[in-house]
Amino acid sequence: MIVAAFKHKVNPKFQEEFDRLYSHANKYISAIDGYENHEVYNGEDGHNMLVVYFRDRESFEIWDTHPEHKKYKERGKTEIFESYDVSVGEVFERHTK
């Protein structure tokens, strides 16, 4: 399993655009074979965390190189996000209840 953690803070003047792009991205990520799900956590300080789960590295790579996703990432880097921090890793142990 691959987990991508994306901590970000949206510039308030771009919140509406972010919401639109996020909604659109949800439609095509769910079509990727190997996408499992994602969770969003909202921090009190305006930072949010998006955690995305993929079955394997190949399915993550499909997402990471998807033309729409690449376009959205560039838009986010240049204006939408005040800050961001992305970490991607392979899960080698997991416990759930």
Domain ranges across the chain: 2-89
Q: Please name the CATH architecture into which domain 2-89 falls.
A: 2-Layer Sandwich (3.30)
Query: Nearest to residue 90, comparing CAs of 59, 63, 57, 68?
Result: 57
Q: Is the pLDDT of residue 61 over 90?
A: yes
**Confidence grade of residue 46 (pLDDT, cut at 50, 70, 90):** confident
Mean pLDDT over 28-46 rounds to: 93
Give one DSSP letter per residue of 62-75, joined into a string.
HHHT-HHHHHHHHH
Distance CA 14, CA 82 (A): 10
Considering Cα of 7, then 13, then 19, then 21, what sign does the dihedral take? negative
pLDDT recorded at residue 87: 97
